[in-house]
């Protein structure tokens, strides 16, 4: 369940150029579970009777590994009484690792809420493959906080992991009535 803190609310009046209605501003803290892909927030919990739009900005201070968080809010039935918004958050973490022919473990700075998708790309290998030999990298196993990979020939590779965000705090601006 999201934790919502409303810092201020106000009226939007016609001469301001935004139309009529109300605006609410504050923070939303969400801890996504391993199976949850979104969290639902009702208009009433944001200090509004109805919700038209919800704008989110991630606050990643204090999260180790500094993942890049991409939030998205989908408002259902904009303008309807006590409607809701579904909040999705995708986390991206990048880095490099020395992938060996034996198993190499890649540890993410911040564990994901569920299993991420991981992509590895060859960096600068320490040896050049002999003519006619195979050169490959592959991911063996993916977990919330780590992945294991193998590669021939050994060398540095870059990885990009994308998946459901862990506990995240958002600054929000909600517009409605």
pLDDT, tens digit, 9 for 90 and up, residues 118-133: 998 876 555 555 555 5
Sheet holding 104-107, edge to edge: 104-107, 146-152, 136-142
Higher-confidence residue of 133 and 137: namely: 137
Q: What is the mean pLDDT of the chain?
A: 85
Query: What Å distances lie between residue 129 and 56, 99, 152, 155, CA to CA?
Result: 48, 15, 8, 11
Question: What does the alpha-carbon distance between residue 77 and residue 131 come to, in Å, rounded to a whole number?
Answer: 61
- Per DSSP bridges, beta strands 155-164 and 117-125 are antiparallel
- Give the per-residue pLDDT at 15: 67
- Give the per-residue pLDDT at 108: 92
- Give the per-residue pLDDT at 116: 93
- Give the per-residue pLDDT at 19: 65
- Give the per-residue pLDDT at 131: 59
The separation between the first and the last C-alpha atoms of the chain, rounded to the nearest angstrom, is 23
- Give the per-residue pLDDT at 37: 78
Band of residue 150 on the pLDDT scale cut at 50, 70, 90: confident
Phi/psi for 16 (5° steps) reads: -75, -15
- Give the per-residue pLDDT at 17: 59
- Give the per-residue pLDDT at 126: 54
Higher-confidence residue of 7 and 67: namely: 7
Q: Is the pLDDT of residue 164 over 80?
A: yes
> How many CA atoms lie less than 13 Å away from 66 in the CB half-sphere?
1
Could you report the per-residue pLDDT of 3-61, keeping only the tens digit for each?
Answer: 999 999 988 877 655 667 899 999 999 988 766 678 999 999 999 999 999 999 998 77
């Amino acid at each position: 369940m999201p934790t919502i803190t409303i810092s201020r609310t106000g009226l939007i009046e016609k001469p301001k150029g935004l139309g009529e209605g109300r605006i609410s501003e504050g923070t939303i803290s969400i801890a996504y579970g391993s199976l949850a892909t979104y969290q639902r927030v009702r208009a009433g919990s944001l200090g509004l009777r109805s919700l038209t739009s919800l704008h989110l900005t991630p606050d990643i201070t204090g999260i180790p590994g500094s993942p890049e968080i991409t939030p998205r809010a989908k408002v259902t039935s904009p303008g309807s009484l006590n409607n809701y918004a579904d909040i999705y958050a995708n986390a991206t973490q990048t880095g490099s690792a020395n992938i060996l022919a034996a198993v190499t473990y890649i540890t993410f700075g911040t564990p994901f809420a569920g299993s991420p998708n991981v992509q590895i790309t060859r960096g600068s290998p320490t040896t050049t493959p002999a003519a006619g030999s195979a050169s490959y990298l592959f991911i063996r196993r993916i977990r919330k906080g780590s992945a294991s990979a193998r590669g021939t020939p050994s060398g540095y590779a870059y990885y990009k992991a994308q998946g459901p965000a862990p506990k995240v705090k958002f600054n929000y601006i909600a517009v409605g009535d």
